[in-house]
Amino acid sequence: MWPLKAHYCLWFGAHSGVLPYLAVFLRTHLNASATTVGTLYCVLPFVVSIVKPIACSAADHYGKHSQALLISQILTFFGYGLLAAIPFILEYIPLHILLYGFCFLALLANTSMGVGISLTDFLVINEVKLVNQHGGNTNYGAVRIWGTIGFGIFGILVGIINENSPSLPYLIPGLFIFIATEILDIICIYRFYHLKQTKLPADSITNDHDNVDYHTPNGQYSDSLEMDSEPYGPTVTTQYNAQSLSLWNRIRIGVKQAASTSIDTLFQILRIYYRYPSLIQYTLIVFCFGILTAFHWSFFFWFIQDIRGQDSLLMGLCIFVNSFLGEIPVFLVAYRIIQWVGPIFSLCISLLAFALRYLCYGYLLKKEYGKYWDVLLIETLQGLTFSLFYTVMTHIAQMYADKCEKIFAINEIPSSSLESNSNDRVASLRNLASSRESSIDDEAEGEFESNMSGQSKMNSLRSKSRIPTSKKIVKPSALMQGLMSACYEGLGLGVGSLLGGFLIEYFDVGSIWRIAGFFSLALVALNVVIEAIKFVYKKRRNQPLI
């Protein structure tokens, strides 16, 4: 697990010198207004919300998660790294051209970073399962905590260096730290997965998730293109000789496969939501968390600069407190909190912390240069507003991925098995059908519909004398992580950034904290009401309280 821990530490540590400062960078070097920043921050996550599920689904389909992660790292490196050149070329290039260049680089880096985070979450969850299956005892939070450690350590380091580097333009030292650290991170991931794929025996290197071996008999990693003739259907493997194809044919094949993957991803997402309606509630909550988080990620340092000046040391201390006094302690106990109160009420705890934090910003913090303790005290709430929420989000994504695997696996049942157990299955289906009529439990709905669809599909196959013998069932783990993350870091952050920019432009920066605080309280009340209605409904129908 150490390479993934190191990756989390270096990956998030590198971004601590970039992400918190982007809005301040735009304001200082390119004279951007709050509306411009908000509009840009709206477009960036929107693109992420489109690209991330498609990229993660493609990684699921071809079983190339580590390769996709490396590509994401490299693109992120070039996107954010080239921003360091902007202050040095201000005299030679018109300001609006530089602004367009900044937008392009930020789009490239932010999209790649979003994909990389979801892929990392998938790989870590996968490795955790393998460790626990072989007698280990670990969990996602114990690995993810290293990202927080890296963000905190590098955050305070960047703050100190930015404050004490008068010979360089403002905030540029943090970008240099990003460049150096990201190079180390790319080397770490490359060496780990490259050695894992080339030095281990071929029969011991499989897709940890679905036990599909992507190696040829001689131990070489196969780069052949695999295309399913139908989703979750018999796999037809076609190997293309790269030398025999023209450039146009390669492009055509690539575009065709990308379009097919996109369509499959869309239908798969719709299928998941149809099977499990409760996922809609979680998705909307995650979207609202994205809005609340956008206010902090996009405009907190803008706010600090207004009330405390260009104090890079205070900004670095905020990152340090966020990490070591906020996120790390909560990451250590987040999973236990979920087990104790459940996902929904864990999210309510996070919303209450958001309300307290933002109302303190809006009503208690005043313009007092050189004062640190009040800001840092409030920042300790970062653990509940981010760590607890993020653990719940990944937990929800994995939970529904596991449910989806049960649905899709029904297509694997051979016809002989269906015939031998037909009586039991008919009785089971009848019970499930009656439960569907009187229950809002989406678990029963999903099981009923999957069994019915599986039965009808097997009948159709029998009529055509087709008995499937080998199908590749792709569990949508990375897809679900990407979907949840897209709602949070994509749509939610986009809407929140745009809304925050307009509020600052037409009112003041303190208004966004007051509005967000009361919005958080309203969401808590709404969730409690929904859960109460579900509880009463199930109790009246004598359904199990799940």
Predicted pLDDT of residue 29: 92
Six token digits for residue 494: 């986009």
Contacts of 132 (CB under 8 A, 6+ apart): 138
Query: What is the chain's Cα-based Rg?
Result: 25
Could you tell me if residue 219 is left (phi over 0), alpha (psi between -120 and 50 degrees) or otherwise beta?
A: left
Q: Which residues of 27-47 are buried (b: 16+ CB within 10 A; e: fewer)?
A: bbbbebebebbbbbbbbbbbb
Single-letter amino acid, residue 9 = C
Backbone angles phi, psi at 226, to 5 degrees: -110, 130
Task: Kindly tell me the sign of the dihedral angle through the C-alpha atoms of 33, 39, 41, 44.
Answer: negative
Predicted pLDDT of residue 248: 61
Give the CA-trace dihedral at 231, 234, 237, 238, to 10 degrees. Answer: -70
Task: Kindly tell me the sign of the dihedral angle through the C-alpha atoms of 321, 174, 96, 41.
Answer: negative
Predicted pLDDT of residue 317: 93
Structure-token match 């052949």, residue found = 224
Task: Report which DSSP code applies to 242.
Answer: G
DSSP, collapsed to helix, strand or coil, labels residue 234 as strand
Task: Name which of 77, 69, 152 is nearest 116 in CA terms.
Answer: 69
Single-letter amino acid, residue 449 = E
Task: Provide DSSP, 367-409.
Answer: --TT--HHHHHHHTTHIIIIIIHHHHHHHHHHHHHHHHHHHHG
Tell me the sheet residues that pair with 227: 236
pLDDT tens digits along 368-411:
888 899 999 999 999 999 989 988 998 888 888 777 666 555 44
pLDDT tens digits along 494-528:
899 999 999 998 888 889 999 999 999 999 999 99
Q: Is residue 188 a contact partner of residue 10, using CB atoms and an 8 Å limit?
A: yes
Backbone angles phi, psi at 221, to 5 degrees: -75, 130
pLDDT band at 449 (very low <50, low <70, confident <90, very high): very low
DSSP, collapsed to helix, strand or coil, labels residue 474 as coil
Q: Is residue 17 a contact partner of residue 319, using CB atoms and an 8 Å limit?
A: no
Mean pLDDT of 148-166: 90
Six token digits for residue 392: 């719940």
pTM of the model: 0.69
pLDDT tens digits along 56-98:
888 887 888 888 999 999 999 999 999 999 999 988 999 889 9
Query: Could you tell me whether strands 235-238 and 225-228 are parallel, antiparallel, or unpaired per DSSP bridges?
Result: antiparallel
DSSP, collapsed to helix, strand or coil, labels residue 471 as strand
* Rounded Cα gap, residues 343 and 397, in angstroms: 11
pLDDT band at 474 (very low <50, low <70, confident <90, very high): low
Contacts of 291 (CB under 8 A, 6+ apart): 492, 493, 495, 496, 499, 516, 519
Q: How much is the mean pLDDT over the chain?
A: 77
